[in-house]
Chain A
């Protein structure tokens, strides 16, 4: 099979990489770009561990072919905060000790960040709806929700 040249933006950097036509976005990110934050849980779009942002919107990267993102903006957990400063959500997850095994956390953070970008004052119900596509097998939802709700409060207080 002839490989394709994938040109897109990943975490604000222009990327050009050769990919197989049948490779998923998730595998291209992990195997070709060494971005191993997004995880494969189910591979069928049910668990949300592979969540990345595509043009700012959360998507299941296991359900996309890599070539579908040609010319588009991809952001993974590696590009959510910066090398120097964590994203407020990451900071809250660390401070409140949210991660247990940690496998679902990159996906949860990307889903939560999308909720708060769109609606910084998201209510707990709106947050629950926004992360409904993310499974945590440690069942650590209570702390997760507390951390995201706290950040929503902080962001809205700053914006007020």
Chain B
């Protein structure tokens, strides 16, 4: 591995100080499962790595009536197994369970998955479908960014070089709401999504009061299928409505062809996975 200095801050303030001194030559280390391969293969060449494992504040997962607060360094394994996440934020727990192997999930963090900003990031679609917000801290204090605005390109986010992702806040979906995340991979374990889809449906008086559909690996950034959402809202969720939404979801998909799948295959998967996740979300919402 290429040589670098290692900073071991014990607080967010200390980490921010290091970032403001070192600027873009510093790189934050959370779980390391994305960072270490990139340090080993030379994709990243930071002069200084800032290990956040001593910063307790970003390791907490807590929930209250208002929602779920996930510290940026909470692991995929913790989300996979947390009872509240499984029950109320089901699609997030499901996506956590799909990241890498157990050995990787015990290290990989939610913040790392989001900040690495791969178009295929598994934990991004559920959070988009749950209307999550990112809490970011920098030299001038904290700011909140809706996750829909967090990703700006392949491996790019709104984070400035002197900022740190603190936590993700997920508002409680409320009663009669259900969600589901599905991805397609050629292998069952340890693979990267060819396409991933998260859906969240909330019901009220026999109609859909809120619909959210988010797609991964079909564009430079994970994104919401807003036309499909709007077509579902205010009406009963019939099989025909689900079919129409699956069709409309294709509108935002601008997939590339690569070794994981052709653009045509990805478009086919968007339709299939949107349909399947909507059906399961509907059942889980009690519809």
Contacts and interface: CB of A to CB of B under 8 A. Distances in A.
Nearest to B75: A57
Contacts of A63: 31-33, 36-37, 104, 107
A24 B1 contact: yes
B120 to A, nearest CB: 16
8 contacts: A21-B3, A59-B107, A63-B104, A64-B107, A65-B29, A68-B29, A68-B53, A133-B101
A62 B240 CA distance: 49
Could you say which interface size class chain B belongs to? Answer: 20 to 34
Interface stretch (B4-12, B85-93, B146-154): B4-12
B33 A22 contact: no
A95 to B, nearest CB: 26
A133 B100 contact: yes
A153 interface: no
Interface residues of A, number: 33
A67 B102 contact: no
B190 A133 contact: yes
A43 B37 CA distance: 8
B190 A46 contact: yes
A116 to B, nearest CB: 13
A134 B8 CA distance: 31
Interface string B29-51: 10111001101100000000101
Interface string A12-25: 00000000111110
Contacts of A134: 101
A70 B53 CA distance: 9
A67 B49 CA distance: 11
B102 A21 contact: no
Contacts of A70: 8, 54
Given A59-B107, A60-B107, A133-B104, A68 B51 contact: yes
Nearest to A72: B53
Nearest to B38: A44
A86 interface: no
Contact of B102 (A2, A4, A44, A130): A130
A111 B49 contact: no
A132 B190 contact: yes
B32 A68 contact: yes
B106 interface: yes
A153 to B, nearest CB: 22
Contacts of B32: 63-65, 68
Nearest to A132: B189
A76 interface: no
B5 A1 contact: yes
A59 B102 CA distance: 7
A125 to B, nearest CB: 12
Ranked nearest first, the 3 interchain pairs of A and B with the lowest CB-CB distance are A133-B101, A21-B6, A132-B189
B2 interface: yes
A64 B36 contact: yes
Contacts of A20: 3
Interface string A30-67: 00000000000001111010010010011110111101
B259 interface: no
